[in-house]
Amino acid sequence: MMFTLPALPYELNALEPFISARTMEFHYQKHHQTYIDNLNKLITGTRFATLPLEEIITETADEPEYEAIFNNAAQAWNHSFFWNSMSPTGGKIENSSLEDRIIRDFGSFENFRAEFKQAAVSQFGSGWAWLVEKTNGKLAVMKTTNADTPLAHGLKPLTTCDVWEHAYYLDYQNRRAEFVEVFMNNLMVILAD
């Protein structure tokens, strides 16, 4: 199976002024495309070539021999999920059952926001901040390093913020905390059922 760059759920400039079209040109058209191209090269002729992306991720996680495949597969998946974790009309909770679950597991929406921001800002170097659903149904905030993804840990991602510098450097330079605030206030979509 050859993977292709999935279509964005909005135009390249749809997230302006919060994320510029120029950032999206590099981040989606260059970085995301490169993960997919590298993955296709790495799996050609291997037993992974016929597997869906999610299975490639779980089968290569924690296998040093397959580190490059894991990194590119996870980054391909993480970026698709990130594009869907944002919307020009994001930043609010429109689903009352989701709101109830956030209050149940974090105490308040503000507590959730504070915990998510802390995870995103404190991730040293490249990585991701996530809201996940654990196998017991509870919601939790986590951060992952480099390409690591909750899928590799049996957790269901509900939203993510990319905190690799390439996600924000053109628009926010070194101001990651400002980027994370803008993400949560204006763009974030929580993909709960």
State the minimum distance, in angstroms, from the CB of residue 51 to Mn ion.
23
Tokens of 96: 């009352």
| 6 prior amide bond cis, ω within 30 | no
How far, in Å, CA of 11 to CA of 20, rounded? 11
Number of residues written out for the chain: 193
Nearer to Mn ion, 23 or 60 (CB): 23
**Which parts of 35-74 interact with Mn ion (CB under 5 A)?**
none
- Kindly provide the residue ranges of all beta strands, DSSP E only, lying in 37-193, ordered along the sequence: 127-133, 139-145, 156-162
Using rule CB under 5 A, residue 77 touches Mn ion: no
State the minimum distance, in angstroms, from the CB of residue 105 to Mn ion.
27
Pick from 133, 148, 162, 171: which binds Mn ion (CB under 5 A)? 162
CB neighbourhood size of 131 (10 A): 27
State the minimum distance, in angstroms, from the CB of residue 89 to Mn ion.
22
The one-character DSSP state at 10 is S
State the minimum distance, in angstroms, from the CB of residue 104 to Mn ion.
31
Alpha carbon separation from 46 to 1, 49, 52 (Å, rounded): 11, 6, 13
How far, in Å, CA of 187 to CA of 24, rounded? 14
Contact window for Mn ion (CB under 5 A) among 15-23, 65-73, 88-96, 160-168: 160-168
How far, in Å, CA of 30 to CA of 27, rounded? 6
Q: How many residues of this chain interact with Mn ion, rule: CB under 5 A?
A: 3
Nearer to Mn ion, 148 or 162 (CB): 162
Contact window for Mn ion (CB under 5 A) among 102-110, 133-141, 162-170, 176-184: 162-170
The one-character DSSP state at 110 is H
Contact window for Mn ion (CB under 5 A) among 96-104, 115-123, 155-163, 184-192: 155-163
Residue of this chain nearest to Mn ion (CB atom)? 162
Interface positions with Mn ion (CB under 5 A): 162, 164, 167
